[in-house]
């Protein structure tokens, strides 16, 4: 076995609720993965300690297989300073803001660590092995607590001016008269098409007296509202839930139509937890994108669902780490971007 054959990666996805970490082959095969609560309320040092423990377990597992973890890639939602390996602004992990996460992990684990935006990691994963395979130019949208996004151009992740963000479709204003977003703006895509927006839609219906009984009302009262429950109720025919998913599709269509017109492309891939409600939003989405893009025939637009689900970000962050490890470390000359 050559040095390069021994090399293996860790890909991670640090979300507001869970941290997931995986042992990933260079070309994307996941060998093992683990999940732990993020529990950011316990404090950032505690989060980092548990993350280090998860990574150490993966490194030991690699060692038992005669392999060596040569780099770690971590996907995090928010604006990042990739050079310093620090989170600049993370809407779902505010205590993490300014924290040099990559530096601390590198010190604890003696392995190069790179931070990546979670939606960018998703994009690279889907591009490598999922719904973006073989499509040079496409946009990706991840519908979770917030709405993340990525742009793949010429088969590569587009990083813009390296300002720490790109593909932030969630914070494009789709309706200046729309609801308030977590970022402070009004009418962002995220305020219509995220799991937070679905939940907020139910809460608003309770507050204005439109919803006064039933499972959604009960879940709202007991603080147990989830996008899964709202989707389930939509499938059972609940009118409010159907309307909320209709709005998800309609606003996604508006945003995607604008991006197709702007970028001169015709492919999009949608992932994230809320995309499990596909059956409830794809029809209004296709109507909306056809209605809002005067440049393309509806038949030419391709909107695909993520093929890798939660694995996309793990595969993508591992791959991005591999691309960025200096050639000297992993015995290759020319695999960097």
Query: Any residues with CB less than 8 A from the CB of 60 and at least 6 apart, and which?
Result: none
Q: How far apart are CA 106 and CA 123, in angstroms?
A: 25
In angstroms, the Cα distances linking 43 to 75, 78, 95 are: 19, 18, 7
Stretch that binds its own copies, among 17-25, 94-102, 236-244, 262-270 (CB under 8 A): 262-270
Of 187 and 272, CB closest to its own copies: 187
Pattern 68-87, its own copies, x by CB under 8 A: -----------x--------
Query: Any residues with CB less than 8 A from the CB of 103 and at least 6 apart, and which?
Result: 84, 85, 86, 113
Residues in region 169-208 near its own copies by CB under 8 A? 169, 171-177, 181, 183-185, 188
Of 105 and 289, CB closest to its own copies: 289
Q: What three-state secondary structure class fits 243?
A: helix
Stretch that binds its own copies, among 5-13, 25-33, 62-70, 154-162 (CB under 8 A): 154-162
20 binds its own copies (CB under 8 A): no
Q: How far apart are CA 328 and CA 331, in angstroms?
A: 5
52 binds its own copies (CB under 8 A): no
Burial of 141 (0-12, 13-18, 19+ CB in 10 A): buried
The residue from 29, 37, 153, 327 that contacts its own copies (CB under 8 A) is 153
**Cα dihedral 113, 56, 308, 157 in deg (nearest 10):** 0
Residues in region 122-141 near its own copies by CB under 8 A? 136-137
Stretch that binds its own copies, among 220-228, 238-246, 259-267, 277-285 (CB under 8 A): 259-267
Residues in region 285-314 near its own copies by CB under 8 A? 291-296, 300
Q: How far apart are CA 305 and CA 289, in angstroms?
A: 15
Residues in contact with its own copies by CB under 8 A are 79, 136-137, 149, 151, 153, 158-163, 165-169, 171-177, 181, 183-185, 188, 254, 257-259, 261-267, 291-296, 300
């Amino acid at each position: 076995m050559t040095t390069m054959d021994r090399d293996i990666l860790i890909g991670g996805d640090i979300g507001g609720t869970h941290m997931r970490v995986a042992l990933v082959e260079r070309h994307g095969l996941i060998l093992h993965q683990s999940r732990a609560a993020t529990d950011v309320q316990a404090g950032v040092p505690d989060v980092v300690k548990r993350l280090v423990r998860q990574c150490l377990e993966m490194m030991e597992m690699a060692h038992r297989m005669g392999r060596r973890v040569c780099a770690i890639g971590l996907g995090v939602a928010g604006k990042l300073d990739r050079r310093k390996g620090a989170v600049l602004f993370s809407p779902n992990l505010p205590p993490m803001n300014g924290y040099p996460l990559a530096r601390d992990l590198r010190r604890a684990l003696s392995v190069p660590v790179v931070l990546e935006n979670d939606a960018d990691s998703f994009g690279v994963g889907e591009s490598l092995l999922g719904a973006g395979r073989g499509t040079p130019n496409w946009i990706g949208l991840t519908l979770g607590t917030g709405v993340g996004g990525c742009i793949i151009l010429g088969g590569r992740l587009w990083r813009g001016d390296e300002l720490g963000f790109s593909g932030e479709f969630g914070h494009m204003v789709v309706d200046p008269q729309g609801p308030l977003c977590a970022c402070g703006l009004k009418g962002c895509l995220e305020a219509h098409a995220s799991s937070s927006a679905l939940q907020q839609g139910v809460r608003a219906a309770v507050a204005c007296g439109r919803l006064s009984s039933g499972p959604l009302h009960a879940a709202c009262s007991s603080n147990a509202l989830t996008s899964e429950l709202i989707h389930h109720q939509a499938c059972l025919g609940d009118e409010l839930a159907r309307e909320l998913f209709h709005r998800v599709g309609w606003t996604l269509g508006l945003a995607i139509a604008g991006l197709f017109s702007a970028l001169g492309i015709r492919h999009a891939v949608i992932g994230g937890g809320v995309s499990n409600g596909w059956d409830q939003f794809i029809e209004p989405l296709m109507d909306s994108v056809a209605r809002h893009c005067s440049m393309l025939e509806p038949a030419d637009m391709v909107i695909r669902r993520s093929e890798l689900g939660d694995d996309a970000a793990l595969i993508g962050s591992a791959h991005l780490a591999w691309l960025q490890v200096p050639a000297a470390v992993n015995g290759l000359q020319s695999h960097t971007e």
